[in-house]
Structure 1
Amino acid sequence: MISDSTIQAIHKFTEERNWGQFHTPANLAKSICIEAAELLEYYQWVPEAPAADAEHAQEELADVLTYCIMMADALGVDMDNIIMNKLAKTKRKYPSEAVRNNFNEYETRHLNARSDSKEAIKE
């Protein structure tokens, strides 16, 4: 769980540098993707990253989480609320009794949802 004091520390850090002016949703979305790619790069070409350099993965994860907090602020959304809403939606889409230990059922539901989304866009 990310504490309020951590969130406030991020706000203070940003305010002290006047970086908020650059924290548009578009810029923050790009930064999230860039940092997530750096996290993924840590695991590139190896089944498991070496434990000796786990600090690097933690630093990249911290960057991703920090930008996500900043994005939530920029959009004016409550992180707990959007996460709980998304979990409820995902529970309906993938009920545990249907998808638990059944990748084929998960994949079918996932592909059907994508098809439904494309059809809704066409209409």
Structure 2
Amino acid sequence: MDPSIRKDVSLKELQDRLAEFARARGWDQFHSPRNLLLALVGEVGELSEIFQWRGEVARGLPNWSSSDKEHLGEELSDVLLYLVRLADICDLDLAQAALMKIGKNAEKYPVGNSSPSFSTN
């Protein structure tokens, strides 16, 4: 296993590694918010294609091959990396923004008002 890969990685570490990756390759000039957003949307499209014709999929993907799961992991990673890079270029702390959003969602959707099932009406 690659020694640079660890089990727990922070968004800050991903942000720093992506920034260095882009800097080393001279890509900063291309990493405008618009360009990163368009790349992110493209990657979400590729992620969507994986699920497009499969119908509903069970949790844990028990019927998927290891290569299908690996492909899914790659596409999810592409989405995450573009999202982290976009937040960095926009000078936003993505982890803090996510925590704040969870707090807002908790207020908007209190536990007592949640329904465990969907209505078909």
How high is the TM-score relative to the length of structure 1?
Answer: 0.74
Matched, 1:69 2:84: yes
Q: Report the alpha carbon displacement of residue 90 of structure 1 after superposing the two structures with TM.
A: 1.1
What displacement does 1:38 show?
0.5
CA 1:63–1:45 in 2, change beyond 3 Å: closer, same or farther? same
Matches within 5 A, 1:53-64: 53-64=68-79
Contact conserved, 2:15 with 2:88, CA < 8 A, in 1?
Answer: no
Tell me how far apart the structure 2 counterparts of residues 30 and 91 of structure 1 sit (CA, whole Å). 30
Identity across the alignment (%)? 34
Pair 73,59 (structure 1): closer, same or farther in 2 beyond 3 Å: same
Amino acid at match of 2:65: A
Give 1:120's aligned residue: none
- Closer/same/farther in 2, CA of residues 83 and 17 from structure 1, 3 Å limit: same
Q: Is 1:31 aligned to residue 46 of structure 2? A: no
Partner of 1:19: 27
Bigger share in helix? 1
Q: 1:45 corresponds to which residue?
A: 53
Q: Which runs of 5 or more residues in structure 1 are unaligned?
A: 105-123
- Measured after TM superposition, the shift of residue 102 of structure 1 is 4.7
- The separation in 2 between residues aligned to 1:79 and 1:5, in whole angstroms, is 12
CA distance in 2, matches of 1:51, 1:96: 37
Normalised TM-score (structure 2): 0.75
> In the alignment, does 2:112 pair up with 1:97?
yes
- AA in 1 matched with 2:47: L
> Partners in 2 of 1:2 and 1:21 — Cα distance?
27
Q: Relative contact order: is structure 1 or structure 2 higher (C-alpha 8 Å, sep ≥ 6)? A: 2
Distance 2:118 2:105 in 1: 15
Q: Find the counterpart in structure 2 of residue 7 from structure 1.
A: 15
Secondary structure in 2 matching 1:101: coil
Q: Which amino acid aligns with 1:84?
A: L
* Unpaired segments ≥5 residues, structure 2: 1-7
